[in-house]
Amino acid sequence: MTTILFAEDHEITRETLSKMAEKIEGMKVIGSASNGKEAVEFSAKLHPEVVFMDIVMPVMNGIEATKAILSENPEAKVIALTSHTQANMIQDMFSAGALAFLVKNCKPQELSLAIDSALHNRYYVSEALTGSVIENFVVSNKPIITAFSDNLTSREREVLKLIAEGYSSKEIANKLKISAKTIGAHRENLMKKLDLHNIAGLTRYAIQRGIVDLS
């Protein structure tokens, strides 16, 4: 059973997300905090495996609370929650040690995916943040990436470019005059080759490698 702590200053949002998490098999919400200070105190007492952390909270913000929690319990997995989309917030939360970044109105499937990614020490960013926010973040924080793209075929690079530009599988299939099923196979193969696990990851990779033109 994976234990979860929610830190969110809006009670309705906190309760909604908690109920959503409780419906996921193997998940148990063991506490909720209304500010960063409470989150740090509850984490020290309850030792949750996953902490959902609002960024903007009273008393202590989510960035400082994340640093404090991980200094005491480095094994905890922090997932940032926000209704904002400023790139600097993404940078600050990841720098503090968060592994995932979700918008508060996320769907259950995305909540589950973020938890799974965090538990496996993989980064995850909400699909809602894959536009200019992700571009700004990646451009200003280019990590060193090994040359995985050398292993991509010309067709895979073509599909990756269109995925990163926001086209759906059906739209890509129409553009390339192949079936949507084939596009799905290319997408899965890209994720496997690049060790990425969602569309957001593919988008960031394409930007980082210059496969997508941001001009």
Rg (CA), the chain: 18
pLDDT value at residue 113: 87
Crossing angle of the two packed helices 154-164 and 199-208, in degrees rounded to 10:
110
- Long-range CB contact pairs, 98-102, < 8 A, 24+: 98/53, 98/66, 99/123, 99/124, 100/124, 100/125, 101/125, 101/126, 101/129, 102/52, 102/126
Homologous superfamily assigned to 2-129: Response regulator (3.40.50.2300)
pLDDT value at residue 131: 57
Task: Please identify, in words, the CATH class of the domain defined by 146-208.
Answer: mainly alpha
Residues of the chain scoring pLDDT < 50: 132, 142-150, 215
In the chain, domain spans:
2-129, 146-208
How far is Cα 166 from Cα 89, in angstroms, rounded to an integer?
Answer: 23
